[in-house]
């Protein structure tokens, strides 16, 4: 049978890719419809490449008027009222948007988070960009676990404090993750947003859209090492117990300058709690 790659077929492939269907699922659909494997691959590869270029182009420019999580620093306050606690403004950076905070968590809250997380620790995973699942990654050598949002009175209290602090709804946040870094453990520089060019990203985005900001809270202090580094900004934030570092990104693109990582712990151990904020309600 003579088969032709028609404009209608190309349009259908573009529509399916835009709706979030994976390359493999589209290929399977073509084969099931009787397309020759070689011709199906040619048709799909052409349209898939165009789809990836379109996604990358869209990601490179910020959305007009997009609102982001942020702190109210218009009058250069030394402290911010977070509802149940006054939080210190230690340092700010405009580009990338980074704010170092002091006294976000009490010593008792740090200890309670560590105690609740410790029995549930497993080797930390990262997002599997091909499928939207999770995988072991040699770049991340910590142990970690996730709490459900609002899982306990402690979690609900801290999440409400964060929401007021950065002017972002509680339900737009992922569940808090707690990580333990022993001596030698690190997380090499990376971005927290989901790369639009990866095939698994549409699956991830269905649960609340892109990540738009990150808050890393320090629950303990290593003796040496373990800072949060921003290589593009030449910045390193020391892991001080009860303090935190907030940063936001207006689009999923390296131009945001939010490349960051957890430097190796040289001596002692470091515990952190991370809160990722999404565009929409995270379910």
Examine the domain organization and report whether 189 and 121 are in the same domain: yes
Q: Let me know if residue 66 belongs to a domain.
A: no
Alpha-carbon distance of 21 to 65, in angstroms, equals: 29
Examine the domain organization and report whether 12 and 98 are in the same domain: no
Examine the domain organization and report whether 85 and 179 are in the same domain: yes
**Token pair 């892991």: residue:** 239
- pLDDT, mean of each 10-residue run, the chain (283 residues): 72 75 80 84 71 54 74 96 97 96 98 97 64 56 90 98 98 97 94 93 94 98 97 97 98 95 97 98 95
Q: Let me know if residue 67 belongs to a domain.
A: no
**Token pair 């303990």: residue:** 220
**CATH number of the domain enclosing 229:** 2.60.120.620
CB 244 within 8 A of CB 101: yes
Examine the domain organization and report whether 260 and 212 are in the same domain: yes
Residue 251's Cβ-side half-sphere holds a number of Cα atoms within 13 Å equal to: 16
Instruction: Check residue 260 and give its pLDDT.
Output: 97
Instruction: Check residue 158 and give its pLDDT.
Output: 98
Q: First CA to last CA across the chain, in angstroms?
A: 47
Instruction: Check residue 146 and give its pLDDT.
Output: 95
Among candidate residues 192, 264, 258, the one with its CA nearest the CA of residue 231: 258
CA distances to 85, 122, 148, 159 from 152, in Å: 19, 20, 9, 10
Q: Within 10 A of 83 (CB to CB), how many other CB atoms are there?
A: 13
Instruction: Check residue 14 and give its pLDDT.
Output: 78
Strand ranges, E, within 94-200: 98-102, 122-123, 125-128, 133-136, 143-146, 177-181, 187-190
Q: Let me know if residue 106 belongs to a domain.
A: yes
Examine the domain organization and report whether 32 and 127 are in the same domain: no
Tokens of 204: 């991830």
Instruction: Check residue 155 and give its pLDDT.
Output: 98
Instruction: Check residue 202 and give its pLDDT.
Output: 93
- The predicted model scores a pTM of 0.76
Q: Give the pLDDT confidence of 142-174 residue by residue, as tens digits.
A: 789 999 999 999 999 999 999 999 999 999 999
Q: Let me know if residue 69 belongs to a domain.
A: no
Examine the domain organization and report whether 233 and 143 are in the same domain: yes
CA distances to 32, 133, 187, 225, 259 from 229, in Å: 49, 26, 10, 11, 8
Q: Let me know if residue 234 belongs to a domain.
A: yes
Alpha-carbon distance of 71 to 93, in angstroms, equals: 12
Q: Domain containing 39: what range? A: 7-60
Q: Let me know if residue 71 belongs to a domain.
A: no
User: How many domains is the chain built from?
Assistant: 2
Q: Let me know if residue 1 belongs to a domain.
A: no
């Amino acid at each position: 049978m003579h088969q032709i790659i028609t404009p209608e077929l190309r349009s259908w492939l573009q529509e399916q890719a835009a709706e979030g269907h994976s390359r493999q699922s589209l290929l399977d659909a073509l084969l099931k419809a009787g397309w020759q494997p070689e011709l199906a691959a040619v048709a799909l590869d052409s349209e898939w490449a165009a789809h990836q270029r379109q996604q990358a182009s869209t990601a490179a420019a910020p959305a007009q008027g997009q609102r982001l999580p942020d702190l109210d620093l218009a009058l250069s306050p030394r402290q911010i009222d977070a509802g149940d606690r006054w939080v210190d403004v230690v340092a700010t950076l405009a580009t990338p948007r980074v704010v170092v905070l002091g006294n976000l968590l009490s010593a008792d809250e740090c200890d309670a988070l560590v105690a609740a997380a410790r029995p549930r620790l497993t080797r930390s995973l990262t997002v599997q960009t091909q499928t939207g699942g999770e995988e072991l990654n040699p770049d991340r050598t910590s142990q970690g676990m996730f709490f459900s949002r609002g899982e306990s009175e402690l979690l609900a209290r801290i999440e409400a404090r964060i929401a007021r602090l950065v002017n972002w709804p509680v339900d737009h946040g992922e569940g808090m993750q707690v990580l333990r870094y022993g001596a030698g453990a690190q997380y090499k520089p990376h971005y927290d947003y989901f790369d639009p060019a990866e095939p698994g990203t549409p699956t991830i985005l269905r649960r609340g859209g892109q990540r738009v900001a990150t808050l890393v809270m320090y629950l303990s202090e290593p003796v040496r090492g373990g800072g949060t580094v921003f290589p593009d900004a030449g910045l390193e934030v020391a892991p001080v117990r009860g303090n935190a570092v907030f940063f936001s990104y207006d689009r999923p693109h390296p131009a945001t300058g939010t490349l960051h990582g957890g430097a190796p712990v040289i001596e002692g151990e470091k515990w952190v709690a991370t809160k990722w904020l999404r565009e929409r309600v995270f379910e």
